[in-house]
C-alpha cells in the first residue's frame, strides 16, 4: 500500500476535487428522485407551480453539467495512476541490486508490471475513489430519502444489504483461487512469448517451437477455463441480486396496496430510490470482489518493487577526480554456493593497461563486475584511489568510468543514442570518431545516418560492428578508467589490431582493464594476469608469460590453433 499512498500524495488536489464532485453528484441524483416524487404528487393534486418545475429542471441540469465536468479529473487520474505505476517499475530497475536483477525473468516481470499497474489503478481509482465519491454517498443519501418516506422499507433494504455481503464473502473464496491460477498462467504466457521472440533462431534451429506453442496453448486453456468460471460465478451473483431487488420492488407495491399509506409519487420515488440504494451495492460487490482479486496481482508487482536495491547508487562518499588506481584486498566472492574468489589480492596502477586472461569460467567477468561495483565482495575490500569502493557513491564513480560489457553492448535506440547517449555533440565530430573504429564506410551506406535505428540489442548489425560501435563511446566520454569485457572478440584480426591501436592511443592517460581471449590483441599491454579457477596463476608482460608460464603458453597455443 506504500506505493499507492505515494501516488495519492502526489495527486491529492485532483483526488480531492474528484471526490467532492462525486459526492455532490450523488446528492443531486437522489435529490432529483425526491423532487420527482413531489412533482408527481403536486401534479395529481393540481398544486404544481412554475417555480417547482424550474427548481427540478435546474437540479437535472446541474447533474448533466456535473457529469461532464467530472470527466476531466476522472480521466486524468485513471490514466495517470496506471502510467505512474509503470514509471515506478522503470525507476525500480534503475536502482535494483544487480544480482536480484539477474534472477528476474523478462517475460514474467513484464506481465507482473502490466497486471500489477492495472490492478493498482483499479484498487485506487475503481475501488477507493468510487467508494468515497459515489457508492457510500449514494447509499447514504438514498437511505436517508427512503427513511424519510418510510422507515419499515428502510429496514428491509438494510437487511438486504447484509444478505448481499454474506453471499459476496462466500463467493470470494472460490474466486481467489481462480485469480491466482489466471495470474500464474498469464505470466507463463508472456514468458513463452518473450522467450520465443528473443530466442527465435535457437528455437527454430532446435525445432523447439512446437513444444513451446504446446506449453503456451496449455496456459491459454487454463486462463480461458478459469476466466469462464469466474464470469459464471459473477453472473450467478448478479442473477441472485436482480431477484432480490425485484422482490423488494414487488414488496413495496404490495405494501402500498395493502396499507394504503403511500402516495403514487412515494411508490415511484421508493422504487427509484431502491435502485439508487442497490445499484451502488451491486457495483460495490463487483468492485469489492475485483479489489480483493486485484490485491493478489498488485502484491506480485509490489514484490518486485520491494526487491533489494543498490543503495550505493545514490548514497555514499563523494568521489572527486578519479585517477584510476585499484587495490583489491583479500576479497571473497561467491554466487550463492559457488565460490569464485577466495582471498584474492591484486593492485592496478593508475594509467596501467592491464589484461585479464584465462579459461572460460575462471572468474574474469565476475572480477570486472566487482570492480565496477555491480557485484559486492562478501569479504575484503576493493579500493579505488585509496577509497573503499563499497563506500563511495556509485553515481559519481560511473560518471568517470566506461564499461563495455560482453553481452549486448548495443541497446535498442538510434546510432546517435548508442554513441553519445544524451550528450550534445556535433555530427561531424561523431562521424570523425567512426573512422577510428573502421565504421566510416558502413556509416555512408546508412539511409538515415545517425538517426538509424539499430534494433533490439543492435540486431541489425554484425557482431564486429556492434563491438566497434560500443568502442567508439570511448571518444565521447571523459573516462579515467576503461573496462572492456571481450570487446573485440567478434572482429577479424586486422580490424581488431587497427581498432585496439586507436583505442590505446585515445585511452593513453586512462587505466585500461580488458578481458581477452585472443591473446595477440594484448601484446602491447603493460601487464597480463592469467586466471585459473578464481586465482592468479601468471602475471607479467606478454613475452615474459609466453616464455615462463605454462598455463599462458597453453592458452596461447590453443587460441592460435582455433584461429
Ligand X SMILES: Nc1ncnc2c1ncn2[C@@H]1O[C@H](COP(=O)(O)OP(=O)(O)OP(=O)(O)O)[C@@H](O)[C@H]1O
Nearest to 370 by CA among 102, 103, 98: 98
**Number of residues forming the site for ligand X (CB under 6 A):** 12
Segment lying near ligand X (by CB under 6 A), choices 84-92, 182-190, 335-343, 422-430:
335-343
By beta-carbon proximity to ligand X, the closer residue of 43 and 335 is 335
How many C-beta neighbours within 10 Å does residue 458 have?
22
Position 387 contacts ligand X (CB under 6 A): no
By beta-carbon proximity to ligand X, the closer residue of 25 and 522 is 522
By beta-carbon proximity to ligand X, the closer residue of 278 and 356 is 356
Residue 69: C-alpha distances to residues 82, 122, 126, 138, 343 (Å): 21, 21, 18, 19, 68
Segment lying near ligand X (by CB under 6 A), choices 256-264, 353-361, 381-389, 551-559:
353-361
By beta-carbon proximity to ligand X, the closer residue of 45 and 104 is 104
Position 362 contacts ligand X (CB under 6 A): yes
Residue partners of 90: CB distance under 8 A and separation at least 6? none
Position 361 contacts ligand X (CB under 6 A): yes
By beta-carbon proximity to ligand X, the closer residue of 319 and 340 is 340
By beta-carbon proximity to ligand X, the closer residue of 70 and 108 is 108
Position 378 contacts ligand X (CB under 6 A): no
How many C-beta neighbours within 10 Å does residue 313 have?
17
Position 363 contacts ligand X (CB under 6 A): yes
Position 340 contacts ligand X (CB under 6 A): yes
Number of separate helices (H) and strands (E) present in the chain: 21, 10
Segment lying near ligand X (by CB under 6 A), choices 57-65, 181-189, 361-369, 496-504:
361-369
Give me the residue label for grid cell 564506410.
441
Position 518 contacts ligand X (CB under 6 A): no
* Separation between Cα atoms, residue 344 and residue 531, nearest integer Å: 11
Looking only at residues 82 through 121 of this chain, which bind ligand X when binding is defined by CB under 6 A?
Answer: 102
By beta-carbon proximity to ligand X, the closer residue of 369 and 473 is 369
By beta-carbon proximity to ligand X, the closer residue of 337 and 445 is 337
Q: Of 43, 257, 335, 421, which one interacts with ligand X (CB under 6 A)? A: 335
Instruction: Tell me the closest approach of the beta carbon of residue 563 to ligand X, in angstroms.
Output: 16
* Separation between Cα atoms, residue 294 and residue 123, nearest integer Å: 7
* Separation between Cα atoms, residue 227 and residue 179, nearest integer Å: 8
Between β-strands 326-335 and 481-485, what pairing exists: parallel, antiparallel or unpaired?
Answer: unpaired
Residue 75, φ and ψ in degrees, nearest 5? -70, -35
Give me the residue label for grid cell 534503475.
94
Segment lying near ligand X (by CB under 6 A), choices 135-143, 293-301, 333-341, 505-513:
333-341
Give yes or no for a contact between 467 and 439, defined as CB atoms under 8 angstroms apart. no
Residue 119, φ and ψ in degrees, nearest 5? -65, -45
How many C-beta neighbours within 10 Å does residue 118 have?
17
Give yes or no for a contact between 107 and 192, defined as CB atoms under 8 angstroms apart. yes
Instruction: Tell me the closest approach of the beta carbon of residue 489 to ligand X, in angstroms.
Output: 10
Cα torsion 56, 57, 62, 68 to 10°: value is 130
Q: Of 134, 364, 436, 468, which one interacts with ligand X (CB under 6 A)? A: 364
Position 514 contacts ligand X (CB under 6 A): no
Looking only at residues 120 through 159 of this chain, which bind ligand X when binding is defined by CB under 6 A?
Answer: none
Instruction: Tell me the closest approach of the beta carbon of residue 400 to ligand X, in angstroms.
Output: 24
Position 447 contacts ligand X (CB under 6 A): no
Give yes or no for a contact between 307 and 94, defined as CB atoms under 8 angstroms apart. no
Nearest to 534 by CA among 350, 340, 312: 340
By beta-carbon proximity to ligand X, the closer residue of 101 and 165 is 101
Position 535 contacts ligand X (CB under 6 A): no
Position 365 contacts ligand X (CB under 6 A): yes
The gap between the terminal CA atoms of the chain, to the nearest Å, is: 58
**Facing residues of 344 across strands?**
331
Q: Of 188, 285, 366, 488, which one interacts with ligand X (CB under 6 A)? A: 366
By beta-carbon proximity to ligand X, the closer residue of 107 and 363 is 363
By beta-carbon proximity to ligand X, the closer residue of 365 and 383 is 365
Instruction: Tell me the closest approach of the beta carbon of residue 88 to ligand X, in angstroms.
Output: 26
* Separation between Cα atoms, residue 3 and residue 89, nearest integer Å: 11
Position 489 contacts ligand X (CB under 6 A): no
Segment lying near ligand X (by CB under 6 A), choices 57-65, 135-143, 302-310, 362-370:
362-370
Question: Given the rule CB under 6 A, which residues bind ligand X?
Answer: 102, 335, 338, 340, 358, 360-366
Amino acid at each position: 500500500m506504500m506505493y499507492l499512498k505515494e501516488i495519492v500524495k502526489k495527486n491529492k488536489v485532483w483526488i480531492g476535487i474528484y471526490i467532492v464532485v462525486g459526492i455532490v453528484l450523488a446528492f443531486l441524483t437522489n435529490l432529483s428522485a425526491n423532487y420527482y416524487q413531489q412533482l408527481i404528487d403536486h401534479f395529481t393534486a393540481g398544486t404544481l407551480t412554475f417555480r417547482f418545475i424550474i427548481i427540478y429542471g435546474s437540479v437535472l441540469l446541474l447533474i448533466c453539467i456535473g457529469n461532464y465536468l467530472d470527466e476531466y479529473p476522472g480521466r486524468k487520474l485513471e490514466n495517470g495512476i496506471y502510467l505512474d505505476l509503470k514509471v515506478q517499475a522503470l525507476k525500480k530497475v534503475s536502482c535494483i541490486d544487480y544480482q536480484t536483477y539477474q534472477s528476474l525473468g523478462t517475460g514474467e516481470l513484464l506481465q507482473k508490471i502490466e497486471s500489477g499497474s492495472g490492478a493498482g489503478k483499479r484498487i485506487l481509482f475503481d475501488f477507493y475513489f468510487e467508494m468515497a465519491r459515489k457508492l457510500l454517498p449514494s447509499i447514504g443519501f438514498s437511505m436517508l430519502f427512503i427513511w424519510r418516506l418510510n422507515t419499515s422499507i428502510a429496514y428491509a433494504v438494510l437487511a438486504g444489504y447484509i444478505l448481499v455481503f454474506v453471499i459476496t464473502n462466500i463467493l470470494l473464496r472460490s474466486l481467489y483461487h481462480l485469480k491466482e491460477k489466471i495470474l500464474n498462467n498469464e505470466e507463463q504466457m508472456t514468458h513463452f512469448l518473450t522467450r520465443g521472440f528473443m530466442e527465435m533462431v535457437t528455437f527454430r534451429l532446435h525445432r523447439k517451437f512446437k513444444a513451446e506453442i504446446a506449453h503456451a496453448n496449455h496456459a491459454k486453456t487454463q486462463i480461458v477455463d478459469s476466466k469462464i468460471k469466474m464470469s459464471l460465478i459473477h453472473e450467478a451473483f448478479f442473477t441472485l441480486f436482480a431477484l432480490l431487488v425485484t422482490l423488494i420492488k414487488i414488496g413495496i407495491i404490495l405494501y402500498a396496496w395493502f396499507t394504503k399509506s403511500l402516495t403514487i409519487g412515494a411508490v415511484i420515488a421508493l422504487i427509484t430510490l431502491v435502485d439508487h440504494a442497490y445499484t451502488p451495492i451491486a457495483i460495490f460487490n463487483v468492485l469489492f470482489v475485483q479489489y480483493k482479486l486485484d490485491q493478489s496481482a498488485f502484491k506480485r508487482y509490489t514484490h518486485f518493487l520491494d526487491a533489494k536495491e543498490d543503495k550505493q547508487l545514490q548514497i555514499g562518499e563523494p568521489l572527486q577526480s578519479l585517477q584510476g588506481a585499484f587495490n583489491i584486498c583479500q576479497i571473497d566472492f561467491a554466487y550463492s554456493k559457488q565460490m569464485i574468489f577466495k582471498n584474492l589480492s591484486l593492485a592496478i596502477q593508475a594509467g596501467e593497461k592491464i589484461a585479464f586472461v584465462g579459461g572460460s569460467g575462471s572468474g574474469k567477468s565476475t572480477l570486472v563486475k566487482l570492480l565496477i561495483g555491480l557485484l559486492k565482495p562478501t569479504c575484503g575490500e576493493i579500493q579505488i584511489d585509496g577509497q573503499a569502493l563499497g563506500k563511495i557513491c556509485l553515481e559519481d564513480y560511473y560518471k568517470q568510468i566506461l564499461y563495455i560489457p560482453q553481452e549486448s553492448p548495443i541497446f535498442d535506440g538510434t546510432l546517435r543514442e548508442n554513441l553519445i547517449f544524451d550528450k550534445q555533440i556535433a555530427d561531424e565530430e561523431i562521424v570523425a570518431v567512426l573512422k577510428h573504429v573502421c565504421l566510416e564506410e558502413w556509416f555512408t551506406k546508412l539511409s538515415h545516418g545517425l538517426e538509424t535505428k539499430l534494433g533490439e540489442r543492435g540486431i541489425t548489425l554484425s557482431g564486429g560492428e556492434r563491438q566497434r560501435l560500443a568502442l567508439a563511446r570511448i571518444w565521447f566520454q571523459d573516462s579515467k578508467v576503461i573496462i572492456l569485457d571481450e570487446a573485440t572478440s567478434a572482429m577479424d584480426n586486422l580490424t581488431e589490431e587497427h581498432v585496439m591501436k586507436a583505442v590505446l592511443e585515445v585511452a593513453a592517460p586512462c587505466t585500461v582493464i580488458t578481458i581477452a581471449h585472443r591473446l595477440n590483441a594484448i601484446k602491447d599491454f603493460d601487464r597480463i594476469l592469467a586466471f585459473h579457477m578464481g586465482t592468479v596463476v601468471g602475471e607479467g608482460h606478454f613475452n615474459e608469460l609466453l616464455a615462463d608460464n605454462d598455463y599462458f603458453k597453453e592458452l596461447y597455443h590453443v587460441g592460435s590453433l582455433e584461429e
